[in-house]
Structure 1
Amino acid sequence: MSDKFKILCLFLLIAILAMAVINLNTGFLSLNFHDFWGNASNSQIAEIRVNRVLVMLLAGISIPTSGFLMQEYFQNPLAGPDILGITSVASLSVAFYIFFSHDIFLPEFLQNSFLSLSAIAGSLLLMLVLLSISKRFQDKSYLVIFGFLVSAFAGAIVSLLQFYAENQSLKNYILWSFGANNMVSRNQIYVLSALIAAGLWVCFNMIKPLIGNSLGTSYAQSLGVNLNRLKIGIIAASSLLSASVTAFLGPILFIGIIVPHFCRLIYNPSRLWQQWILNMFLGMLMMLLFSVIAEKTQIPLNVISSVFGIPVILGMLLKQNKA
């Protein structure tokens, strides 16, 4: 690793620690050091803030990694975690659960758990479908087309459900779609961590084949890269990483497009191992920043990430058009 990369990582790590401390001190009440230890009067509020920081760190690791994998595999800087339709199906699963479970009485903590489980179940089901049909699609573009069709179909069904939904069910779905970083419990964080760890493990094994794939299909095959195994690994890793965050936080996936772009601007884009590390560091920093803004302004997390991401994506399109 070069000295420039080490200095860059050190700077990002310091910024992440500083932003995490700011997050812990952001809210309606001012907390002191003792509130985060023992059974202090504000210990429950302190636990909520710690959970908020932890889930933002996990989201900052997983979403940019998913976007990084998609962009490197499809060789398209505008590809994102939702390109395969995973997040759309997760949203559809949540919509089915919210709109059809209002007559079933469940405690509040179970409602949140089943909501997340429904999103994960729907996403993993689509992942299995993608893995089963990926062998028939030799051209990468067919996967993108299939993902677009799935997203369009899921969006149409969600719109239909919203049209006939009761007011409270519709409100609950809209609140979920905004993204809520304060509603994740410690047990849910454990589940989220396990899913993300599985996705990162698959990603770790895909970086080396991705390096060969970036040099061209023929050259990658001459190096012994199993392109079909690479495709399956990319689908599995991206699905696990994006679906898990969508299940617990809602569709906040814009940073999956913009963070890999920023990382390629600040460091050599051909160094994929270093790019992956930078994506995770910069993703954590941006999610913590968005969390502070959301707490200060009471604007939903999904709205903040979209408002920040849309101008960046527009700039990328204009830059590509000039090229």
Structure 2
Amino acid sequence: MKQPFKWTILAIILIILAFSGLLLGSVHIPAAEILSIFLNSEPVSGAHSHIILDLRLPRIITAILAGAALSVSGMLMQTLFRNPLAGPFVLGISSGASLGVAFLILAGSGLSIAFIISGWAQAIAAASGAVAVLLLTLTIAMRIRDVMSLLIIGLMFGSLTGAIVSLLQFFSTGEEIQLFLMWTFGSLGGLDYNELKVLVIFVVAGLSLAFIMIKPLNAFLLGERYAESMGIPIARIRIIVILSTGLLAGAVTAFCGPIAFIGLAIPHFTRLFFKTSSHQILIPGCMFIGSIAMLLCDLLAQLPGSQYVLPINAVTSLIGSPVVIWLVLKRGNLSKAF
């Protein structure tokens, strides 16, 4: 299968899933009426217009952005550490975001419940925690040269923040723990257009940094010594990679909560689909396939024909785990790609 045909197939699947997201839901809205809402060709129900434009469309845009951001950030981490198990949260960014939300919900007894459960409050708290861990990681990255040491430090950050969150939960009420647990489930819904604008800015900034680093990332696949012999500033590129990952994964976690497996599984699937290790293809490929995967998970989470909506984090894990197992069985050794 030639590359242009693969891109066409991915674009068609993305469009079909996006339109399916507009079509499916607890309220049935005919496809013709959905088209009328966007084309303004005929007067439509005000309630239906609100559901499509204010509820379903933001959810679809969020899924596309989150899927692209997490997949590309996972690709960056796997290339930087040359480790097939590395993901966007390996540096403790997700743990830092969880700690920020934990302080807001579990240690914020003096705050009103209305403020605590507001989208902006949780997003700011998560972003603050993620930025704090990111700054610590960047500071350490400027001091050490060994990426494996950086990986271990990132894992230790995750363990430390996890321990603090556990202590906060121990001294919290049942209502506070339930609120925090709901956030950890992850959600693609509930964002308004003002929040989406902020998410778009951070995701575009992170993706722009990733595209700028295509040539250095390709050199990294051959080892840091080879990249250094080509005149690539290793320390600077490492910091830019971490910054890009922080922008992408941190923004998604802030607005959508922690979403597992997309950043780990999609880069491997993209390498298998395009049969290349060139980041010139893999980065846009991760964007397309990650968005498709997130849209598909969101459709499954809504349980078509049912009033229930499953946690998106549970759905991505249910799908992501078998995909990684299948990739390992098919390729035999995922580390061959590095």
**CA-CA distance at 1:102 after TM superposition:** 4.1
Greater CA drift, 128-137 or 168-177: 128-137
The TM-score with structure 2 as length reference comes to: 0.89
2:218 corresponds to 1:211: yes
Greater CA drift, 312-321 or 217-226: 312-321
SS at match of 2:47: coil
2:311 corresponds to 1:300: yes
**CA-CA distance at 1:135 after TM superposition:** 2.0
8 Å CA contact 1:88–1:151 kept in 2: the answer is yes
Please name the residue that 1:28 is paired with: 26
Distance 1:248 1:39 in 2: 30
SS at match of 1:41: helix
Distance 1:322 1:9 in 2: 26
SS at match of 2:6: helix
Pick the aligned partner of 1:285 from 292, 300, 306.
292
Pick the aligned partner of 2:195 from 188, 193, 197.
188
Distance 2:328 2:15 in 1: 33
- Residues 268-298 of structure 1, C-alpha deviations (whole Å, 9 max, x = no match): 3322110111110000101000110011162
Distance 1:121 1:322 in 2: 34
Please name the residue that 1:42 is paired with: 48
1:109–1:135: structure 2 CA closer, same or farther, 3 Å change rule?
Answer: closer
Pick the aligned partner of 1:119 from 117, 126, 135.
126
Please name the residue that 1:162 is paired with: 169
8 Å CA contact 2:37–2:49 kept in 1: the answer is yes
Greater CA drift, 143-152 or 212-221: 212-221
**CA-CA distance at 1:320 after TM superposition:** 3.3
Distance 2:262 2:169 in 1: 27
**CA-CA distance at 1:105 after TM superposition:** 2.8
1:28–1:35: structure 2 CA closer, same or farther, 3 Å change rule?
Answer: farther
2:154 corresponds to 1:147: yes
**Aligned alpha-carbon RMSD (Å):** 2.1
**CA-CA distance at 1:197 after TM superposition:** 1.1
The TM-score with structure 1 as length reference comes to: 0.93
8 Å CA contact 1:81–1:253 kept in 2: the answer is no
Please name the residue that 1:4 is paired with: 2
8 Å CA contact 2:107–2:168 kept in 1: the answer is no
Pick the aligned partner of 1:221 from 219, 228, 244.
228
8 Å CA contact 1:23–1:49 kept in 2: the answer is yes
**CA-CA distance at 1:99 after TM superposition:** 1.4
Q: Give the partner amino acid of 1:29.
A: V
Please name the residue that 1:104 is paired with: 111
Alignment gaps of 5+ in structure 1: none
**CA-CA distance at 1:100 after TM superposition:** 2.5
Q: Give me the identity figure in percent.
A: 35
Distance 1:309 1:116 in 2: 25
1:88–1:194: structure 2 CA closer, same or farther, 3 Å change rule?
Answer: same
Distance 1:265 1:322 in 2: 13
Please name the residue that 1:320 is paired with: 333
SS at match of 1:299: coil
How many residues in Structure 1 have an aligned counterpart in Structure 2?
A: 321
Distance 1:224 1:276 in 2: 23
Please name the residue that 2:66 is paired with: 59
Greater CA drift, 34-43 or 248-257: 34-43
Please name the residue that 2:15 is paired with: 17
8 Å CA contact 1:35–1:41 kept in 2: the answer is no
8 Å CA contact 2:116–2:122 kept in 1: the answer is no
1:79–1:48: structure 2 CA closer, same or farther, 3 Å change rule?
Answer: same
Q: Give the partner amino acid of 1:176.
A: W
Please name the residue that 2:136 is paired with: 129
Q: Give the partner amino acid of 2:14.
A: I
8 Å CA contact 1:78–1:313 kept in 2: the answer is no
2:254 corresponds to 1:254: no
